[in-house]
Amino acid sequence: MIRNADAPDVLVEALRRATELGLLLSQTRVHELLRHWGALGELAKIEEVLGAMPLGGVPYNNVTAYIVIRTAVNQGAQDKAEYYAEAMVQRQVRLTASTLRMLQLGRDRQQAAQQQQQLQ
């Protein structure tokens, strides 16, 4: 329903009020929605939901980290990818080899773009 309506605000409200409403939200389902928005390049929607996940009892894990970092890298937002990588590590979330490769890919792209600009 949330995915079809493309309504992250509904998910955020459910996460914020999970205890009050007696909701038990599935980490798998939340990740499914994050992946969907990531495939669409909707980093802002992912960020909106990320902020509410702990309130709804849905902890961050290595899958959460990969989804947000991959989306940021794919959108050319390397600064946000680096921010989320650091934030996840501070929250004791292990970054997988795939996530670290994605971060490095983003760094390499950023460096190549900077070199290209210098040549022009």
**Tens-digit pLDDT profile for the chain (120 aa)?**
455 546 788 888 888 888 888 888 889 999 999 999 999 999 999 999 999 999 899 999 999 999 999 999 999 999 999 999 999 999 999 999 999 999 999 999 999 988 888 887
For the CA atoms of 38, 99, 18, 16, the dihedral, rounded to the nearest 10 degrees, stands at: -70
Sign for the CA dihedral angle at 21, 33, 67, 75 comes to negative
State pTM to two decimals. 0.87
- How far, rounded to the nearest angstrom, does the alpha carbon of residue 32 sit from its chain's CA centroid? 11
From CA 29, how far away is CA 67, in angstroms rounded? 13
Which of 48, 47, 58 has its CA nearest to residue 19?
58
For the CA atoms of 4, 8, 13, 17, the dihedral, rounded to the nearest 10 degrees, stands at: 80
* Pair 33, 3: CB distance under 8 Å: yes
